[in-house]
Amino acid sequence: MDIIIYHNQSCGTSRNVLGLIRNAGIEPHVVEYLKTPPSRALLQLLISRMNSSVRAILREKGTPFAELGLDNPELTDGELLDAMMAHPILINRPIVVSPLGVKLCRPSEAVLDILADTQRGEFRKEDGELVIDQAGRRVA
């Protein structure tokens, strides 16, 4: 299965999602989007495929969101995209692309909805929370 993850190694959620993908026996294409941001057209396509709004994928925490006044509801999608192109850290992560769909995987377990392959064993998040049991089943 061909999987792409728009990843930030500094983000625990992103690392957990990458771990869940690998726990399914898949080695994804990892795009470190802060080093290699998606083009404006690609970002628009990803947002469209997620059936999301541009505003819904804006990241506030640890970004220049407030300084740029991006909470202004009058800003257009184009203006928000301009900000994300100028400051890729504003793109929330991780975004995962699979044959089953495109998803902003927050919380990290959301990636399981777009992975066709089953988990191959136990998986715990970095904080120790059990997500997948030893039999490869999702823990509620």
- pLDDT on residue 130: 97
96 within 8 A of 18, measured Cβ to Cβ: no
Domains of the chain, by residue range, sit at: 4-132
Instruction: State the catalytic residues.
Output: 11
- Tell me the mean pLDDT in the region 60-65: 96
Q: Which CATH number fits domain 4-132: 3.30.1540.10, 1.10.3720.10, 3.40.30.10, 3.30.70.260?
A: 3.40.30.10
Kindly tell me if the per-residue pLDDT of 1 is higher than 70: no
- Residue where the block lists tokens 């505003």: 55
> For 2-46, what is each residue's pLDDT tens digit?
999 999 999 999 999 999 999 999 999 999 999 999 999 999 999
Buried b (16+ CB within 10 A) or exposed e, 116-132: eeebeeebebeeeeebb
125 within 8 A of 16, measured Cβ to Cβ: yes
- pLDDT on residue 117: 87
Neighbours of 26 (CB within 10 A): 17
- Residue where the block lists tokens 């898949």: 26
pTM confidence score: 0.94
